[in-house]
Chain A
């Protein structure tokens, strides 16, 4: 077990923003929530699966809703403890640990606040190691693990537990429920044993996120050689440095979609186009796809290396575009159907990172 310190928290926030790949919700609010929970209930331990009872129950917790609503209807607490307690009592078993479903964006941090309040460790794993917009977009779905039973709750004490037949149905039901519950809610799904997580989860996500954030923080502080160290750690590559010359946003089917066009800083004949659906999904250079989901596209401020979220993209920003390979656990049968370009409606092939063109 490893105690998470407040210093770790700052690194984790930065790492989570990066892994949000432009979306995933601003972790700022979640950080404030974790700080208060640590003040009120004490610190949180990160545990690896090998430190826990293999048959112990692990419950996930996340916020579900609309980021703009969450910025106005700020988290309360009972919507998160509520979903965990609901599943625990439905299953008739107490959890031994809490798990993030999504290490990327604000859902990286919510489990820490819940774990602090419930006096449980957070297991060092997740199911995405990036942000994705839908519940079924997990490595667990690939492994055939159901999201069901699943619980959704609000801050007032309204709680529901769902049994669903597929993880896609779970997504639809959860989304309908939160529209009735104020669009800033807690969700718990994919209840699992520690053994299942060790076998099917993405391992070490929380510590990876902290270390990634720490490496990026060093870049922001201007430490010598930090950029290379950061890229090496993430096995990432800087694909493009340029200036945003066009930005088009629209909302369809609940997704914030958009296109951003970046002109190269020194060679005006080179442009990069990035397609957005909540997250940054595809990057093309001169019409050729070079980074594709589920690999990660991150836009950093060219001057201070701060990850830029899709909501704060603006004309004229000078940016670096970084590509990072997705967690290796993603590479198994069914990945492209679930989270590849076609899953988001783009008729282009997946381009594994490193193989340009």
Chain B
């Protein structure tokens, strides 16, 4: 008997769950409304999805959740954080928290200090670690903050000082006092990495509650299994890691949806469109992972240097409002949203929506009462569908990197709107179980490892440097639980650095592989 995995995805609207086997076949799935306390929804989804499944076969459970992201966006449940930067005398011209939104600053930022420390680009110290100043800072934080965020200039290349600073903080505040070190959180770019580390530390409480809720639900259902959370890049971290690094989960929703869609369709390179009630998001998967955006990512109004899936959204969904005019129609961008189930004409409501158009045009069936559409003219349907088709084509074209045709996988409640053929798209696929693509994406997620550092090609040669980076990423993936026989390199990005001597190049390599059993 093959082992089974549970995938649960807590979205803004729905909590989905699936049980899948090792071949990726969906054994059971469920969809229910997200609850104010997400733990309730998780417990409910779990009990529904495992009813009728042999529990003894379940070996792993994966959770994708928007809870930490919402905590930041809504400024709820965030903890106060002391901010320690190891970089003086450099960096004094920009204090921690510069350019943060005021409300977030007041709710999160505790005492801050920039103390002597940090590294130069060549690995020498900017200054020796100013241990006495760290001790003073720790005392200033005592009783005032719930966690401390530590960042250090060039920590991605050398994190000894961050580790030492963590030890000093532990000596004074206790070994279980929560501390977040920047080299674990982000990549090159001190201010962005510091921001991310502070946000990370502010989420410790939220993360503990989510993870505890998840693990209690598992235990409560008699499931003694390994538990994981999905992170922004679509790979896994253990539940224990997630408590320390919750910020790495904030972008996991769209990633799970895209990876789930591709895996359900059993292809690794495709465009993916998720059509909901209000909007359509298009992304692209290359070798099974979403292409990432090159722009700086803001989380709750704070600039970070995370890599997030490159998505384009437009106001096109099942609830999008259609307004017939004289020989033309205007579509959206407003929508009745989730009220499409009461407001649209086919459901007895008074608003002409794209779901009505889709029904009359023959794309949607078995939803509502088509006879209520007698007042909608064929011309209106034709014009509205032409608009939809054009928008979808533009979206797909914008996402593609080359002119060659690619398959398009459509998921979500509004996927009926997608035409059967689109110029530039090889085929349109709406996979089975597409409505639980998010949870499926969580269930099939892999373990990963990453390296992001500056190499000097002149010293060792490019090939040797890249080999070293590949090796480090592979080892990191295996440490995270990847099967050593199946781990593979999933991306290599080289960014040559202008003016840096010795052909300096920033190299980012990711490796991933399925979990070892």
| Residues of A in contact with B (beta carbons under 8 Å apart) | 23, 28-29, 32-33, 35-37, 65-69, 71-78, 113, 133, 155-156, 175, 179, 182-184, 243, 245, 249-251, 254-257, 263, 268, 278, 311-316, 318
Contacts and interface: CB of A to CB of B under 8 A. Distances in A.
B474 to A, nearest CB: 25
Nearest to A256: B498
Given A28-B303, A73-B120, A257-B496, 4 more contacts: A73-B154, A75-B93, A156-B126, A312-B294
B111 interface: no
A316 B498 contact: no
B94 A75 contact: yes
B89 A155 contact: yes
Given A183-B121, A312-B295, A74 B500 contact: no
B87 interface: yes
Contact of A74 (B94, B454, B506): B94
B345 interface: no
Contacts of A256: 496-498
A66 B402 contact: no
A76 B93 contact: yes
B190 A175 contact: no
A250 B496 contact: yes
A129 to B, nearest CB: 21
Interface size class of B (residues with CB under 8 A): 35 or more
Contacts of B190: 71-74
Contacts of A74: 87, 90-91, 93-94, 153, 190-191
B130 to A, nearest CB: 14
A155 B90 CA distance: 6
A157 to B, nearest CB: 8
B94 A68 contact: no
A316 B154 contact: no
A76 B500 contact: no
B403 A263 contact: yes
Contacts of B402: 245, 315
Given A76-B93, A256-B497, A316 B503 contact: no
Listed residue (B99, B126, B457, B496) with the most chain A CB atoms within 10 angstroms of its CB:
B496
User: For the complex, would chain A's binding face be called helix, strand, loop or mixed by DSSP majority?
Assistant: mixed
A48 B127 CA distance: 41
A68 B497 contact: yes
A184 B291 CA distance: 32
Contacts, number: 143
A263 B401 CA distance: 11
B496 A182 contact: no
A183 B119 CA distance: 12
Given A32-B99, A78-B89, A245-B401, A72 B121 contact: yes
A249 B91 contact: no
A77 to B, nearest CB: 5
Contact of B497 (A23, A251, A263): A251
Listed residue (B90, B154, B189) with the most chain A CB atoms within 10 angstroms of its CB:
B90
A129 B389 CA distance: 45
B496 A249 contact: yes
B408 to A, nearest CB: 15
A272 to B, nearest CB: 16
Given A76-B92, A245-B403, A268-B403, A67 B498 contact: yes
A29 B499 contact: no
B206 interface: no
A66 B121 contact: yes
B473 to A, nearest CB: 20
Contact of A251 (B92, B153, B191, B498): B498
A303 to B, nearest CB: 8
Given A74-B87, A245-B403, A249-B494, A254 B499 contact: yes
Interface string B176-194: 0000000000001111000
A67 B504 CA distance: 12
User: For the complex, would chain B's binding face be called helix, strand, loop or mixed by DSSP majority?
Assistant: loop
B366 to A, nearest CB: 37
A220 B99 CA distance: 21
A311 B498 CA distance: 10
Nearest to B88: A76
A36 B114 CA distance: 15
A76 B89 contact: yes
Given A35-B99, A71-B189, A312-B294, A77 B92 contact: yes
A65 B92 CA distance: 18
Contacts of B506: 68
A344 to B, nearest CB: 14
A72 B400 CA distance: 33
A255 B499 CA distance: 6
B454 A68 contact: yes
A243 B394 CA distance: 12
B501 interface: yes
B118 interface: yes
22 contacts: A36-B93, A66-B504, A69-B121, A73-B87, A73-B190, A76-B92, A77-B92, A77-B93, A133-B498, A156-B126, A156-B127, A182-B121, A182-B126, A183-B499, A254-B498, A256-B496, A256-B498, A263-B403, A313-B294, A316-B291, A316-B398, A318-B398
B51 interface: no
Interface in B265-315: 284, 291, 294-296, 303
B197 to A, nearest CB: 14
Interface in B474-496: 494-496
A267 to B, nearest CB: 13
B399 interface: yes
B95 interface: yes
A278 B403 contact: no
A199 B503 CA distance: 40
Nearest to B121: A69
A249 B401 CA distance: 17
A251 B496 contact: yes
B291 to A, nearest CB: 8
* 6 smallest beta-carbon distances between A and B, as pairs: A251-B496, A74-B91, A256-B498, A316-B401, A315-B401, A66-B499
A36 B497 contact: no
B378 to A, nearest CB: 30
B505 interface: yes
Given A68-B500, A316-B400, A73 B94 contact: no
A184 B90 contact: yes
B105 interface: no
B98 interface: yes
A71 B498 contact: no
B162 to A, nearest CB: 14
A313 B294 CA distance: 8
A180 B331 CA distance: 61
A316 to B, nearest CB: 4
B504 A251 contact: yes
A312 B294 CA distance: 6
A313 B293 CA distance: 10
Contacts of A77: 92-93
A113 B189 contact: no
B501 A179 contact: yes
A312 B189 CA distance: 14
A151 B408 CA distance: 58
A278 B500 CA distance: 12
A78 B92 CA distance: 9
